[in-house]
Every structure is written in C-alpha cells, then in structure tokens.
Amino acid sequence: GDSCCNPQSMGYIKKIVENKIPGIYVLSLKIGSNLIQDMENSFFMNVNDQVREVCSQLAKDPSLKGGYNAIGFSQGGQFLRAVAQRCPSPPMLNLISVGGQHQGSVYGFPRCPGESSHICDWIRKTLDLGAYTQAVQEHLVQAEYWHNPLKEEDYRKNSIFLADINQERGINETYKKNLMALKKFVMVKFLNDTMVDPPISEWFGFYKSGQAKETIPLKETSLYTEDRLGLQEMDKAGKLVFLGVKGDHLHFSEEWFYSTILPFLQ
C-alpha cells in the first residue's frame, strides 16, 4: 500500500538517511514504471517476480557493485530477505527488517493507507476464503506469506513464496549459504503491534503448530533447531540482532531511528 518515494514514508526515510550520513547513496526500490504501479504491485504482483525485478535493479546499479546495506519495512523486510537468499551479487552486507513477518502472518494484515481500505477489506475476505488456492497465491501478495497454523500442510504444500524461502519443502543449500554471508541480520519487532498476527513473527517466532493461541520463539522452532536457514549458526556467531520498539506496526520516532538503526548503515 506504499510506494518507493512517498514524501510521507519511504521518500522521507531516504531523505533523513541522506541528511544524517553525508555522501551516502540511497536507492528506494520502485517496482513498476510509476508510483501508482509501485503501490498496486505491493498488493497484486507475484512476490517471486518482484524479487527477480529487484535483483535485476541491484545488479545493474554500478553504485552497489561493492555491496550494500538493505532496510525493509513490513513485508519489504521479508522480501529483501528473499533477495539476500536468492541474489548474492552484488552482496548484501547487512539486512535490517523493520516489522517484517518472517514466519508469515495469519488473520492479520499490515497497515494499509486510508485510501486503500477497500482493497484491504477485499483482500481479507479473499484470504479467508482461499489463501492457498493457486489463483490467489499467484495474484495476491499477502497470500504468499499467509501462514495458517491450523492448515500447516496446506501452507507447506501450496505457499509459493514464504514456504520456499523458509525451507519448508526441503533444503536449498544456496539459500542457507547466501543468508549466512550477511554480517548482521537485524530484526525489529513492534511491541504493541496490532497488524501482524502473531507479532513474534517479526523475530522469526510463530504459533505452535495446530493452534493459534500459544506462540514459541525462534529458538524453539524447527527452522532453528534443524538450522534449515543457518539462523542457529548465525545466532551463535553474533550475527542476529533482535530489537524491540514500543508502538504499533511501523510506529517509531526519528530519534529511535537515528540512534538504533543508522549505526548499522555506517
């Protein structure tokens, strides 16, 4: 529901980073030929196609050839993780995920801008009816990280994006190797998040399988204990950073951003 260059959001983030770190090069990713397409693609463009498009943009940008730091907000955090896993050239150095749903989201939906509320209502109804049908998976972004703990088998079998990057159907050693090449993987969880269900997904936790009440942290998930993505090894090497910030989804102060996030970009 956002766009690359909205002066109230991503455009503002770009501006304050440039102001605080003189000489830095900041690319705010645009997917589509204009801002309207960019916004619509955040709802309706297959995430795998989005990741391919971003990988192409990064590879063609001479300013990034020596490596880059990546920061993604909400679903952008998990999409950039897919970029790290699938596209090692140019190398991603640090990944900062601000409210990204790394184990997916269920029954919740990231905040939409007010003018898109009718789209949000339609998407929620569509997800409830058939999140794991092929048509919905292929054409609705939020379905591609819809993770229903009551339908784990359907999720593993039919999720065309999240189940793949989370190694739910087998181990892709390249994904693991590429993610482990990060210097730091920073995950920001909003402690009063009402948009992501469960909020612990922002730290790679999720519901215990088969129910939707009790959650478990990353270290108790099979993803970690079996080290399917290398997160256990990264954790032991001090590469994983878990940050909590008071507030609802994507609600943070400039002061917090300057003191907590900017050091990872310098």
248 is catalytic: no
- Which tokens is 78 given? 């998990």
142: nearest Cα among 130, 154, 156: 130
Per annotation, catalytic residue among 2, 38, 164, 193? 193
Per annotation, catalytic residue among 3, 42, 197, 249? 249
Per annotation, catalytic residue among 3, 74, 97, 105? 74
* Amino acid at position 250, single letter: L
| Pairing verdict, β 215-216 and 206-207 | antiparallel
CA distance 84 to 70: 9
74 is catalytic: yes
47: nearest Cα among 95, 99, 5, 86: 86
247: nearest Cα among 180, 198, 202, 189: 189
249 is catalytic: yes
Which residues are the active-site residues?
74, 193, 249
